[in-house]
C-alpha cells in the first residue's frame, strides 16, 4: 500500500475477499432457504421425497 502518497495501490486481495464472502453468503443463504422450504413442503406431502 502506498500510504505515504495518500493513494492506495494494489489491494486486489481485499477486493476478492469482499466478493468471495458476498458470493458464499448470498448463495449459501439462498440454498438454505430453498432447502428448508422444500423440506417443509415434503413434510406436508406437497413434493415427492
* 9 binds another protein, rule: CB under 8 A: yes
Among the listed residues 39, 22, 26, 5, the one whose alpha carbon sits nearest the alpha carbon of residue 48: 39
CB atoms within 10 A of CB 44: 7
List strand residue ranges (DSSP E) for 1-49, in order. none
From the CB of 11, what's the least distance to another protein, in Å?
4
* 29 binds another protein, rule: CB under 8 A: yes
Site residues (CB under 8 A) for another protein? 1, 6-12, 14-15, 17-19, 21-22, 25-26, 29-30, 33-34, 36-37, 40-41, 43-44
Amino acid at each position: 500500500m502506498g500510504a505515504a502518497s495518500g493513494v492506495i495501490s494494489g489491494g486486489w486481495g481485499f477486493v476478492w475477499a469482499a466478493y468471495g464472502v458476498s458470493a458464499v453468503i448470498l448463495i449459501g443463504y439462498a440454498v438454505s432457504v430453498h432447502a428448508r422450504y422444500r423440506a417443509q413442503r415434503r413434510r406436508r406431502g406437497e413434493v415427492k421425497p
